[in-house]
Amino acid sequence: MDIVSLRKKFAELFVGGSSGELIEVHAPGRVNLIGEHTDYNDGFVCPMAIDRRMVILARRRNDGLVRLHSASSSQTVEFPVDRAVPKDGPAWALYPKGVAEILRQKKLITTGMDALATSDVPIGGGLSSSASFEVATAFALLAANNAQMDLVDLALACQWAEHNYPGMPCGIMDQFISAMGRKGYAMLLDCRDRSTRQVPLNDPNLRVVISNSNVKHELVMGEYTARRHQCETAVKLIKKKFPNVSSLRDADMDALEDSRLGMDPTVFRRARHVITEIERTIDFAAALEARDYAACGKLMYGSHLSLRDDYAVSCGELDALVEIARVVPGVYGARMTGGGFGGCIVALCTADAVATLTAKIESEYPKKTGKNATTFATVASEGAHIVK
Ligand code: GLA
- Domain extent, residue 39, equals 3-201
Question: Per-residue pLDDT for 65 more than 90?
Answer: yes
Question: Which residue among 34, 174, 306, 310 is best mutated to probe the pocket of ligand 1, counting the most ligand atoms within 8 A of its Cβ?
Answer: 174
Do residues 371 and 272 both lie within one domain?
yes
- Spatial separation of the C-alpha atoms in residues 250 and 270, rounded to whole Å: 15
Specify whether the backbone of 296 is left (phi greater than 0), alpha (psi in -120 to 50) or beta.
Answer: alpha
Q: Identify the band that residue 219 occupies on the pLDDT scale cut at 50, 70 and 90.
A: low
**pLDDT tens-digit profile of 79-92?**
999 999 999 999 99
pTM: 0.97
Average pLDDT over residues 62-91: 97
pLDDT tens sequence across 278-319 = 999 999 999 999 999 999 999 999 999 999 999 999 999 999
Q: For residue 383, tell me if it sits in a domain.
A: no
Give the distance (Å) from ligand 1 centre to CA of residue 128.
9
Q: Residue 188 in contact with residue 44, Cβ under 8 Å?
A: yes
What local confidence, expressed as pLDDT, does residue 380 receive? 98
Which DSSP string do the residues of 92-118 spell out, in sequence order? Answer: GGHHHHHHHHHHHHTT-----EEEEEE
Residue 150 has pLDDT above 90, yes or no: yes
In this predicted structure, the answer to whether residue 217 has a pLDDT above a threshold of 80 is no
Ligand 1 atom closest to the Cα of residue 38 is 12
* Residue of 30, 31, 33, 39 with the most ligand 1 atoms within 8 Å of its CB, for mutation: 39
The minimum-distance atom of ligand 1 relative to the CA of 172 is 9
The reported pLDDT for the residue numbered 18 is: 79
Ligand 1 site residues, Cβ closer than 6 angstroms: 36-37, 39-40, 170-171, 173-174, 338-339
Strands (E), the chain: 23-34, 44-60, 65-70, 75-80, 113-119, 185-190, 196-200, 206-212, 331-337, 344-350, 374-378, 385-387
Residues 112 and 213 in one domain: no
Kindly give the number of the ligand 1 atom that is closest to the alpha carbon of 339.
11
Average pLDDT of the segment spanning 322-334: 98
Cα 154 to Cα 65, 112, 157, 229, 250, distances in angstroms? 21, 18, 5, 26, 27
Both 239 and 333 in a single domain?
A: yes
Q: Measure the CA angle with vertex 53, ends 96 and 12; round to 5°.
A: 65
Q: Is 370 in the same domain as 247?
A: yes
The alpha carbon of 175 and the centre of ligand 1 are apart by a number of angstroms equal to 10
Of 42, 174, 310, 319, the active-site residue reads 174
Stretch 58-85: mean pLDDT: 97
Whether residues 163 and 294 fall in one domain? no
Residue 174: active-site member? yes
Residue 387 lies in a domain: no
Mean pLDDT, the chain, integer? 97
> Residue 270: its pLDDT value, please?
98
Distance 66 CA to ligand 1 centre (A): 29
pLDDT digits (tens, 9 = 90+) for 118-148: 999 998 889 999 999 999 999 999 999 999 9
Q: CATH no. for residue 95?
A: 3.30.230.10
Q: Please tell me the residue having the least CA distance from ligand 1 atom 9.
A: 171
Alpha-carbon gap, residue 207 to 328, rounded angstroms: 14
User: How many angstroms separate the alpha carbon of residue 219 from the centre of ligand 1?
Assistant: 14
The protein residue with its alpha carbon nearest to ligand 1, atom 8, reads: 170
Say whether pLDDT at 164 is over 80: yes
Nearest atom within ligand 1 for CA of residue 173: 9
The total number of structural domains in the chain stands at 2
Tens-digit pLDDT profile for residues 7-57: 999 999 998 777 789 999 999 999 999 999 999 999 999 999 999 999 999
Q: What pLDDT is recorded for position 220?
A: 75
Same domain for 178 and 266, yes or no, is no
Ligand 1 centre distance from Cα of residue 161 (Å): 15
Return the best residue to mutate from 30, 31, 37, 133 for the ligand 1 pocket (most ligand atoms within 8 A of CB).
37
Contacts of 365 (CB under 8 A, 6+ apart): 211, 317, 320, 321, 324, 371, 372, 373
Q: What is the pLDDT, as a whole number, of residue 131?
A: 98
Region 363-370 average pLDDT: 98
Do 17 and 103 fall within a single domain? Answer: yes
Provide mean pLDDT across the span 346-373: 98
Q: Are residues 173 and 272 located together in one domain of the fold?
A: no
Q: 269 pLDDT band (50/70/90 cuts)?
A: very high
Instruction: Quote the pLDDT of residue 388.
Output: 85
37 CA to centre of ligand 1 in angstroms: 6
Same domain, 175 and 221: no
The ligand 1 atom at the shortest distance from the C-alpha of residue 171 is 9
Percent of the chain clearing pLDDT 70 (strictly above): 99
Mean pLDDT of 139-167: 97
